[in-house]
Amino acid sequence: MATNCCYILAFFLLFTNLSSFGKGDGKDIGGASYIFGDSLVDAGNNNYLSTLSKANIQPNGIDFKPSGGNPTGRYTNGRTIGDIVGEELGQTHYAVPFLAPNSSGQAILNGINYASGGGGIMNATGRIFVNRLSMDIQIDYFNITRKQIDKMLGASKAKDHIMKKSIFSITIGANDFLNNYLLPVLSIGARISESPDGFIDDLISNLKGQLTRLYQLDARKFILGNVGPIGCIPYQKTINQLNENQCVELPNKLALQYNAKLKDLVAQLNENLPGAIFVHANVYDLVLEVITNYQKYGFTTASRACCGNGGQMAGIIPCGPTSSMCSDRDKHVFWDPYHPSEAANVIIAKELLDGDTTYISPVNLRQLRDL
């Protein structure tokens, strides 16, 4: 996934369009969305890193209307879950990538995206990609934004904006398994020296510290997604030579172990951090439901990547200019070997926005916004 330098000028010219998808001029600030996480919600931060994990090459973004179908650094064919949620909650601007040149001034009051492809809870996660923003670094960057908001609004109004009008979205953890603990060869030493339980305990401990740090920076409304069924992605199915209706057992087992402890952490934080509300998104069960019953949701496959190469599920080589690409992108649950299509993201986002406690609790995102 090498950088294609010819897109740099195109990206610069697209920023005006990407920063706004509504009629708002940014002066009437409503809610803000501050997004942390990995490639599931990265909106272009990795474009500005010397990294092997990039999505700023065609045909990524082919259905992303604000860019005219040009790649933006989103790891899907259209909008991410973060984009869709922002639109539905009435935000007139997409959360701008922190590393983008237009992530300053009025833009920061609409929200900023700190997510990074390959990033994880642990700082060592994703080292195979050379560079990426870990959760610790993402929070360091939010600290910079936080100070900028103080300067713009004054301390009192800034605090009100962060505490009452801002939602903090965290989508992280999958890479800590796929590109750390389970990584072939590189992780063998770690797996010998640390049990799965020990590694998961370290993840939870680190994440607790990170979320507490955001709370200390005045974050109060949180949405925290658990790790999805990572054993069911086309990459895992392909390299393990599984049938379409099978999933790899170990990654899913580890995700479930982590998710159980994450749910306990959410309850603990809600009890111990006054004034905060941590919303738990059961992404694992939600995505598994879509994969298992894909035809019910209008998909023709939940196993084959729309864009990719390698094996019967196109699940080995990431999406790029030489990839085969399906013509019916809205009929595939997965865009590439790792990431959902925009059509799947829409279904997931709808449940997070308006669903009941089956998948999101104690409140959904529309209710969280209005608290």
The per-residue pLDDT for 186 is 54
Q: Which residues are catalytic?
A: 39, 336, 339
Across the range 349-357, mean pLDDT stands at 97
Across the range 291-311, mean pLDDT stands at 96
The per-residue pLDDT for 350 is 98
Digit-coded pLDDT (tens) for 44-74 = 999 999 999 999 999 999 999 999 999 999 9
pLDDT higher than 70, residue 189: no
Nearest to 260 by CA among 349, 197, 338: 197
Residue 83, judged by CB atoms within 10 A of its CB (0-12, 13-18, 19+), counts as: buried
**C-alpha distances in Å from residue 34, one per residue of 31, 152, 196, 223:** 10, 17, 31, 10
What is the percent of the chain where pLDDT is above 90?
Answer: 85
pTM of the model: 0.91
Q: Comparing 12 with 257, which gets the higher pLDDT?
A: 257
Are 64 and 75 in contact by the 8 Å Cβ rule? The answer is: no
The per-residue pLDDT for 92 is 85
Which residues pair with residue 225 across a beta bridge?
171, 281
pLDDT higher than 60, residue 298: yes
Are 261 and 202 in contact by the 8 Å Cβ rule? The answer is: no
Digit-coded pLDDT (tens) for 221-259 = 999 999 999 999 999 999 999 999 999 999 999 999 999
